[in-house]
C-alpha cells in the first residue's frame, strides 16, 4: 500500500496561520518565533564571550555589576567539575544550545505544530532542559560557589524567557499528537503524524484541535 504523502504534497485546510486553542494566537506564527530566535542569538553571543574566558582566550570576562566575581564563578571548582564530566565548558555548551534554539526556531512553516511535530519536539527538547539547567546553575552560584556572574544571570533569564515563549507551541503539537492517538490508537498513524505525513485522518485531527473553543 502506498504511504501517505508528505505535508508539502497536499493542500492545507484553511490558512496556515490560524489561532490554535486554547490560545488566541498561533504558536507557530513568525511573530511568536522570531523573537525567540533573536533572543537565542543574543544569548549565544553572551555565552561565547564567557566561553572565551573559560578557554583562556581572553584575560577577563565582562561584568559591570559583580566585577571579578564572574571570573571566579567561571573558573570555580563547580565549573571545573562540569568540564570534567562533559568534556566541554558549560558556556561553550550554552553557545551550541542557544544556536540550536535559533535554528530550530527558524525552521518550518507557520503550521509546523501539525506538519512538523518532530521539529517542534526537538525545539522543546533544546529549549526547556536548557532553561532548567540555567536555573540550577544560578542556584549553584548562590548556594555552592557564593559568587555571582552577571552575564550568567542574564543568559539564565533569557533561557527561562525562551521556555515561557516556546512552551505554547510544544503544548499544541503534543495535544495534536494526543488527539491522533486518542481517536485511532494506531501506532503507525501516530508515527506518520510525528513525521508530518498527511492523510484524511490526520487532517481531521488537526481540524478537531482548531475547532475547539478558545479560552
For residue 53, being part of any structural domain is answered with yes
Domain count across the chain:
1
pLDDT of residue 3: 47
CATH number for the domain spanning 151: value is 1.20.1440.130
pLDDT, one tens digit per residue, over 123-161 is 999 999 888 888 888 888 888 889 999 999 999 999 999
Distance CA 205, CA 192 (A): 13
Residue range 78-100: mean pLDDT, rounded: 92
Whether residue 21 lies inside any domain: the answer is no
Spacing of C-alpha 202 from chain mean position? 25
Average pLDDT over residues 75-87: 90
pLDDT at residue 5 is higher than 60: no
Show the cell assigned to 40: 537565542
DSSP state of 142: I
| Residue 83: alpha-carbon gap to chain centroid | 23
Q: Output the pTM of the full model.
A: 0.86
> How does the average pLDDT of the chain come out, rounded?
90
How many whole angstroms separate alpha carbon 193 and alpha carbon 53? 45
Is 106 within the bounds of a domain?
Answer: yes
Task: pLDDT band for 14, please (50, 70, 90 cuts).
Answer: low
Residues 6+ apart with CB under 8 A from 115: 7, 108, 109, 196, 198
pLDDT in tens, 163-200: 999 999 999 999 999 999 999 999 999 999 999 999 99
Residue 198 to residue 195: CA distance in whole angstroms: 9
Residue 11 in this model has a pLDDT that exceeds 70? no
Domain that holds residue 32: 26-210
Q: Is residue 17 part of a domain?
A: no
Q: Is residue 112 part of a domain?
A: yes
- Residue 116 is predicted with a pLDDT of 96
Distances (CA, A) of 111 to 20, 22, 79: 10, 15, 40
C-alpha grid cell, residue 162? 525562551
C-alpha cell at 35: 523573537
- Is residue 141, in this structure, part of any structural domain at all? yes
130 within domain boundaries: yes
Q: Is residue 7 part of a domain?
A: no
Amino acid at each position: 500500500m502506498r504511504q501517505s504523502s508528505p505535508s508539502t504534497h497536499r493542500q492545507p485546510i484553511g490558512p496556515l496561520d490560524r489561532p490554535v486553542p486554547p490560545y488566541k494566537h498561533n504558536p507557530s506564527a513568525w511573530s511568536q518565533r522570531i523573537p525567540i530566535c533573536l533572543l537565542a542569538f543574543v544569548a549565544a553571543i553572551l555565552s561565547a564571550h564567557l566561553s572565551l574566558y573559560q578557554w583562556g582566550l581572553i584575560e577577563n570576562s565582562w561584568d559591570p555589576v559583580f566585577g571579578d566575581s564572574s571570573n571566579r564563578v567561571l573558573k570555580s571548582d563547580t565549573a571545573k567539575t562540569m568540564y570534567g564530566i562533559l568534556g566541554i565548558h558549560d558556556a561553550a555548551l550554552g553557545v551550541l544550545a542557544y544556536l540550536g534554539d535559533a535554528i530550530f526556531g527558524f525552521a518550518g512553516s507557520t503550521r509546523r505544530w501539525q506538519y512538523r511535530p518532530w521539529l517542534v519536539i526537538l525545539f522543546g527538547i533544546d529549549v526547556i532542559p536548557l532553561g532548567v539547567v540555567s536555573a540550577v546553575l544560578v542556584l549553584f552560584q548562590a548556594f555552592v560557589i557564593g559568587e555571582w556572574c552577571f552575564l550568567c544571570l542574564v543568559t539564565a533569564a533569557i533561557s527561562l524567557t525562551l521556555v515561557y515563549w516556546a512552551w505554547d507551541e510544544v503544548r499544541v503539537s503534543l495535544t495534536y499528537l494526543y488527539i491522533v492517538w486518542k481517536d485511532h490508537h494506531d501506532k503507525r498513524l501516530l508515527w506518520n503524524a510525528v513525521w508530518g505525513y498527511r492523510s484524511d485522518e490526520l487532517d481531521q485531527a488537526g481540524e478537531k484541535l482548531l475547532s475547539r473553543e478558545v479560552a
